[in-house]
Chains A and B, each alone.
Chain A
Amino acid sequence: LSGIRISDFPKHRAYDQVFFLCTKTQSYSRPSYFPWRCIEKILKDDASEEKGERARMASFVGAIAITDLVKTTLGPKGMDKILQSTGRGHEVTVTNDGATILKSLHIDNPAAKVLIDISKVQDDEVGDGTTSVVVLAGELLREAEKLVAAKIHPMTIISGYRMAAECARNALLQRVVDNKENAEKFKSDLMKIAMTTLSSKILSQDKEHFAQLAVDAVMRLKGSTNLEAIQIIKKPGGSLKDSFLDEGFILDKKIGLGQPKRIENAKILVANTAMDTDKVKIYGARVRVDSMSKVAEIEGAEKEKMREKVKKILGHGINCFVNRQLIYNFPEELFADAGILAIEHADFDGIERLALVTGGEIASTFDNPESVKLGHCKLIEEIMIGEDKLIHFSGVEMGQACTIVLRGASHHVLDEAERSLHDALCVLSQTVNDTRVLLGGGWPEMVMAKEVDELARKTPGKKSHAIEAFSRALVAIPTIIADNAGLDSADLVAKLRAEHHKEGCNAGIDVISGSVGDMAELGISEAFKVKQAVLLSATEAAEMILRVDEIITCAPRKREDRM
């Protein structure tokens, strides 16, 4: 028996009990431990714990397994993965996005879960570098494993890593380029960053087109990082090149029958109210009458109530009414008679966004017309994209709002395109705030590795081993990029390292030609913020996992209902 318990594999389950026995004998033989019985009373049945060396091994194995899974997706020549859902319908997703892959995995290993979490955080914070962060953390752990095997205390490794990370960050800070003052140059920086981000994704063929789209969309935001204002609509059909950016807002709904299809200077009331009937919501409420005409009267009264409600809505002086719930035939006709454009059953996301961009509020009562904020836009009209008719709101209150309409061959392509574009938008919007830019293509890693190496030489004591290991982990990233492209990584990385010994060098891996190239000339750039986040969160995650010396698995919740 190896000392590792990988509970990812069902067949290993059989070993569990054997483990148990081992632990027992061991504990008895060591008098310094508490008697086993005590622990047995502390933990419930079926809960298990792993200690010291073994716990650490389990973490390393889990983390490294996760790293190996995603590392082939890294870089412009990274491969995709099929995610096959084993649930109903066996849905298939094809993706290159690290965060998406990791999110969908179902993992039992605690260390692996930590890695998945940092990738999620990276996704939320900066949007890109989700694979890099996991790979770097994995490589750090891989190095740490060797050090631990060489009897270096985890705490020493951790403090070495900390020093190295700080030093690496400073090295990057020294080399950043900031073109904040020069608008022209800054825009070209943004284009470069967008293209670099997109080059590893499905959009790589049309990356210039999409980089332009993303930059335009982000520039409209004028520095806010609120990506809510950018709406992405996916419509199958056409090719990726047909995707376009449109100002304003597009709602994928139909205009009611017999209502105007085009409104200028629209005043919009966004509502979430029942437009079927206002039902009495008391349980068991019922009407008792003794004749048919009275039923008819009540029915008439109900109708009248609806008419009142519509009248109140009309009282707001609007010419467009958007409701989240259904609008029944009767009120629909009333709206049509009043010449008002009514849109029913807009989804929740849709109306929240609509309220946001048109500057309105979502209303649910209509008694005080003066207190309700109406939305405004210059023009509402029906447009046709591909096969479908959609409603376009242009000239909206919130000027920065825009819509990107994605076209593509199939749903797989569209979904992946959306994920890629989302990454690019996130990075760009972050870069607009933090305008510092670095070169890409393994350049930052090499710069960091060089500085960290220097530091290792200067540092006395065991820590220097850890610092050296940190530098090796950094170099692993260009190595993986080269490997994924099917290049001779050992040769390339050695060349790259030699290049970097010259002062102020811009060398990185040019994957397309398969050689070392000048990143500044090739226009491969990355945002400083992304790199910094990758560096810091990977180090933190590695540190966290290294600190662990005991894993306690709680007893699973019992399902009484099943047996």
Chain B
Amino acid sequence: MAAVTAAQPRSSKTESYVDNKRKEDIRQANIKAARAVADAVRTSLGPKGMDKMISTANGEVIITNDGATILNKMEVLQPAAKMLVDLSKSQDSAAGDGTTTVVVIAGALLKQCLLLLTNGIHPTVISDSLHKASTKAVDVLTAMAVPLEISDRESLIKSASTSLNSKVVSQYSTLLAPLAVDSVLSVVDPAKPDMVDLRDIKIVKKLGGTVDDTELVKGLVFDKKASHAAGGPTRMENAKIAVIQFQISPPKTDIEQSIVVSDYTQMDRILKEERNYILGMIKKIKATGCNVLLIQKSILRDAVTDLSLHYLAKAKIMVIKDVEREDIEFITKTLNCLPIANIEHFRAEKLGHADLVEEVSLGDGKIVKVTGIKDMGRTTTVLIRGSNQLVIDEAERSLHDALCVVRCLVSKRFLIAGGGAPEIELSRQLGAWSKVLHGMEGYCVRSFAEALEVIPYTLAENAGLNPIAIVTELRNRHAQGEINAGINVRKGQITNILEENVVQPLLVSTSAITLATECVRMILKIDDIVNVRIMKWQSTAKYLLSSRILYGGFFLNFLFCLFVFFSKLCFLVNNETIHMQHAHLTIQALL
């Protein structure tokens, strides 16, 4: 017993394990893992790409075509594979679109790197050459790009619909694309014309109807119903709106309080006082002419009570309660009003004005719309409808991508052809450039050029075309100088892709190339994986597991179960039951 108990805590110190595998093995393992991730999303590239169904650990099902979402939900463990997941996240935050493209490019680059490595080229040489190639690639892309005026709404819509075409909701791209463009354009601040803050666009999702019913609301939409208690008004014209951060309920002190009631008459009096107190507040509100109240959610006490709702209804004041604190900034910005934190400060100049506030019933629920806002801030709201939650979620993700595309165009006003045209052109020009370079560099740049062909290849493959025929044909057309020739997936042939209105922002392509290269370079430079800082509980479990195999004794089995039981108790507190449950199951199987 003593030996075992003693050995157990010590194990926590000794689990640091130095991996002595050969360096090449680590690098190859990393590359293989990363490529596996890339292959997993490859089939979702392009307008004819397929969707993935992901069922998460808690039973939720997601159907999506968005690379970033797929990877995010995949829960990979291998560190290099994780870096690819991060890569798609970075692309998401940098450009918003092209999250699949970036991973596919990285996968193709890694494949080429593996070849180069087996040829005995030093990883740092490959890494430096890749960097050079990517800088050159960005130059080539910039030279190909077509400048765009922000007033050119048609072009903006074209590129937004290119992004939407590869999504589940592609049949609605005629509706969603202009919607995305309009909403971005409406939040652009003339003072800072190339800055768009997507937080100024609020997306409200409501089940029911079809995606067709999605609309842009010039104003505010609350996914809540107006308070109906005691028949309060649900429609208000010429609304004067107050955003309040205090509560209309009986007073409550910060110090613990108790009201001592000693006789019957006192009870009556208390009730009356409460009524008067609330009535006093409401009178003050009414005095300013306010007729719509937005009440911030409160955790400390009830924001409103039945009694106050009743009085508010009597005073013909429309009430929307439980507004989140995070939303207050957006609301005040939109309504051009100030939040009011105390009844004493309730003054008319702090109110916002709108032509109409009305409750509308939609599908199974109700929403409140505020329209015709006076001096409205530069914000906008999009109301997404859909027949089921999955469609709505996917529509939101697609719309987000489209918004990002438009935002990219606003901040960097260049367009580039889609449909694999830029990639094949890059591949051609870099291939030519590699011939004038010396030594290893030329060799590596050529591999880079070859890797880029993966995009048109995959596009063709996903569309059910013969990839080899299409890519060679495409190469041929580009060699003849048609730099805008690309794969027209609908017609299944090669056409001038600019004429087909398949365009995307330059930023998406350039950031995909630079980010993918950066990630690949990082993976190449890694020669070791070191496990660090094992958590004490976990390590003990691991040690016991390993010693079980060593000693195989019954006693240890018993001990281990005990340990699992206790640690489960502890983990319950830490919300980490999943891990231990897994261990527990293994034990049951072993026993």
Contact = CB atoms under 8 A, between A and B. Distances in A.
Interface stretch (B4-12, B52-60, B170-178): B4-12
Given A87-B534, A289-B257, A290-B260, A413 B341 contact: no
Contacts of A87: 533-535, 538
B253 A290 contact: no
Interface in A76-125: 76-77, 79-88, 90, 92, 94, 96, 101, 104-108
Contacts of A149: none
Contacts of A557: 9
Interface string A1-39: 000000111110110010000000000000000000000
B44 interface: no
B83 interface: yes
B264 interface: no
Interface in B215-269: 245-246, 250-262, 266, 269
B512 to A, nearest CB: 11
A257 interface: yes
A296 B339 contact: no
B530 A287 contact: no
Contact of A85 (B23, B251, B332, B532): B532
B256 A485 contact: no
B256 A287 contact: yes
Given A94-B83, A410-B87, A292 B274 contact: yes
Contacts of B274: 292
B283 interface: no
A105 B576 CA distance: 24
B550 interface: yes
A291 B259 contact: yes
B216 to A, nearest CB: 22
Contacts of A183: none
Contacts of B80: 82
B255 A280 contact: yes
A202 B131 CA distance: 12
Contact of B123 (A79, A106, A287, A288): A79
Contacts of A371: none
Given A82-B530, A329-B245, A257 B338 contact: yes
A94 B87 CA distance: 14
B14 A236 contact: no
Interface stretch (B387-395, B427-435, B446-454, B518-526): B518-526
Interface string B343-363: 001000000000000000000
Given A298-B257, A562-B563, A9 B262 contact: no
B90 A409 contact: yes
Contacts of A65: 18
Given A10-B543, A563-B5, A333 B522 contact: no
B124 A237 contact: no
Contacts of B251: 292, 295-296, 298-299
Main secondary structure of the interface of B (DSSP, over half): helix
Contact of B532 (A17, A106, A387): A106
B21 to A, nearest CB: 13
Given A86-B533, A303-B342, A286 B266 contact: no
A184 interface: no
A293 interface: yes
A69 interface: yes
B257 A286 contact: yes
B461 interface: no
Interface in B121-162: 122-125, 131
Contact of B277 (A46, A86, A288, A296): A296
A562 B527 CA distance: 39
Nearest to A330: B341
Interface string A310-343: 0000000000000000001110110011000000
A485 B127 CA distance: 12
Contact of A410 (B86, B245, B531): B86
Interface residues of B, number: 94
A292 B273 contact: yes
A69 B530 contact: yes
A96 B123 CA distance: 15
Contacts of B305: none
B269 A77 contact: no
Contacts of A558: 5-6, 9
Contact of A562 (B246, B254, B518, B566): B566
A556 B10 contact: yes
B18 A288 contact: no
A384 B195 CA distance: 9
Contacts of B258: 286-289
Interface string A207-218: 000000000000
B2 interface: yes
Contact of B16 (A76, A90, A105, A328): A105
A83 B259 contact: no
A289 to B, nearest CB: 6
B472 interface: no
Interface string B559-591: 000110010000000001000000000000000
B314 to A, nearest CB: 20
B536 to A, nearest CB: 10
A530 B345 CA distance: 63
B295 to A, nearest CB: 12
Contact of A330 (B9, B252, B342): B342
Give 9 nearest A-B pairs by CB, closest first. Answer: A292-B273, A486-B122, A79-B527, A329-B245, A329-B341, A286-B256, A106-B16, A333-B341, A104-B532
Given A9-B17, A80-B525, A83-B530, 8 more contacts: A84-B532, A94-B83, A106-B532, A295-B250, A329-B246, A330-B245, A333-B341, A333-B342
Interface of B: 2-3, 5-11, 13-18, 23, 30, 77, 79-80, 82-83, 86-87, 89-90, 93-94, 122-125, 131, 192, 195, 197-198, 245-246, 250-262, 266, 269-270, 273-274, 277, 296, 328-329, 332, 338-342, 345, 514-515, 518-519, 522, 525-535, 538-539, 543, 546-547, 550, 562-563, 566, 576
